[in-house]
Amino acid sequence: MAKPRHIPVCVLPHAAGWHVASWRRPSVPPKDIWNIDVWAKMAQTAERGCLDAVFLADLVALWPVPEHLRHQTAHVGQWEAFTLLSALAMVTKHIGLVATGHTEYGSPYNMARRTACLDHISHGRSGWNVVTSSGPQQALNYSKNAENPTDRRYARAEEFVDVVKALWDSWEDDAYIRDKAAGVFYDPSKLHVADHHGEFYDVRGPLNVMRPPQGYPVLAQAGSSGPGKKLAARIGEIIFTPHSGEGARIYNRELKALAQEFGRDPTQIKVLSQISPVVAATQTEADAKWEQLQSLTHPELARGTVEAMLGVDLSKADLDAPIPEDIGGIVRVTGYHDAVMDYIRTEKPTVRQLIHAYKGPGTIVGSPKVVADYIEAEVDSGACDGFVLLIQGMPDELEDFVEFVVPELQRRGRFRTEYEGRTLREHLGLAKPANQFAGRPAGRLTLAADRGWNAA
pLDDT tens track for 156-192: 999 999 999 999 999 999 999 999 999 999 999 999 9
Interacting residues of 291 by C-beta distance below 8 A, sequence separation 6+: none
- pLDDT tens-digit readout, 397-424: 899 999 999 999 999 999 999 999 999 9
- Across the range 53-60, mean pLDDT stands at 91
Element (H, E) at 55: strand 53-56
Give strand ranges (E) for 337-451: 363-366, 386-390, 445-448
- Strands 126-131 vs 218-221: parallel, antiparallel or unpaired: parallel
Class of the 9-283+362-455 domain?
alpha beta
pLDDT of 280 above 80: yes
Label each residue of 134-198 as H, E or C: CCHHHHHHHCCCCCCCHHHHHHHHHHHHHHHHHHHCCECCCCEEEECCCCEEECHHHECCCCEEC
Burial of 107 (0-12, 13-18, 19+ CB in 10 A): middle
DSSP state of 29: P
Q: What are the residue ranges of helices labelled H in 169-298?
A: 226-235, 245-261, 283-295
pLDDT band at 24 (very low <50, low <70, confident <90, very high): confident
Burial of 41 (0-12, 13-18, 19+ CB in 10 A): middle
pLDDT score, position 359: 64
Lowest-pLDDT choice from 125-134, 155-164, 337-346:
337-346
pLDDT of 97 above 50: yes
Task: Look at phi and psi of residue 329 and say left if phi exceeds 0, alpha if psi is from -120 to 50, else beta.
Answer: left
Strand partners, 171: 191
Element (H, E) at 304: helix 299-310
Name the phi and psi angles at 14, rounded to 5.
-125, 130
Check if the beta carbon of residue 310 is closer than 8 Å to that of residue 329.
Answer: yes
CA angle (48 as vertex; 279, 389 as ends), nearest 5: 45
- Across the range 185-203, mean pLDDT stands at 96
pLDDT score, position 379: 97
First-to-last C-alpha distance (Å) of the chain: 54
pLDDT score, position 361: 76
Check if the beta carbon of residue 453 is closer than 8 Å to that of residue 447.
Answer: yes
pLDDT of 308 above 80: no
Distance between CA 453 and CA 451 in Å, rounded? 7
Q: Where are the domains of the chain?
A: 9-283+362-455
pLDDT score, position 5: 87
Q: Of residues 205 and 357, which shows the higher confidence score?
A: 205
Check if the beta carbon of residue 239 is closer than 8 Å to that of residue 269.
Answer: yes
pLDDT score, position 255: 96
DSSP state of 346: H
Distance between CA 425 and CA 427 in Å, rounded? 5
For residue 257, how many other CB atoms are within 10 A of its CB?
A: 11
Check if the beta carbon of residue 307 is closer than 8 Å to that of residue 329.
Answer: no
Q: Of residues 443 and 451, which shows the higher confidence score?
A: 443
Distance between CA 238 and CA 236 in Å, rounded? 6
Check if the beta carbon of residue 239 is closer than 8 Å to that of residue 333.
Answer: no
Burial of 360 (0-12, 13-18, 19+ CB in 10 A): buried
Q: Of residues 325 and 405, which shows the higher confidence score?
A: 405
Buried b (16+ CB within 10 A) or exposed e, 321-345: eebeeeeeeebebbbbbbbbbbbbe
Name the phi and psi angles at 271, rounded to 5.
-85, 120
For the chain, give the mean pLDDT. Answer: 87
- pLDDT tens-digit readout, 209-240: 999 999 999 999 998 889 999 999 999 999 99
pLDDT of 452 above 70: no
371, HSE (Cβ side, Cα atoms, 13 Å): 32
Q: CA torsion angle for 118, 119, 124, 125 (degrees, to 10)?
A: 40
For residue 103, how many other CB atoms are within 10 A of its CB?
A: 23
- Across the range 18-38, mean pLDDT stands at 81
Task: Look at phi and psi of residue 50 and say left if phi exceeds 0, alpha if psi is from -120 to 50, else beta.
Answer: left
pLDDT score, position 453: 39
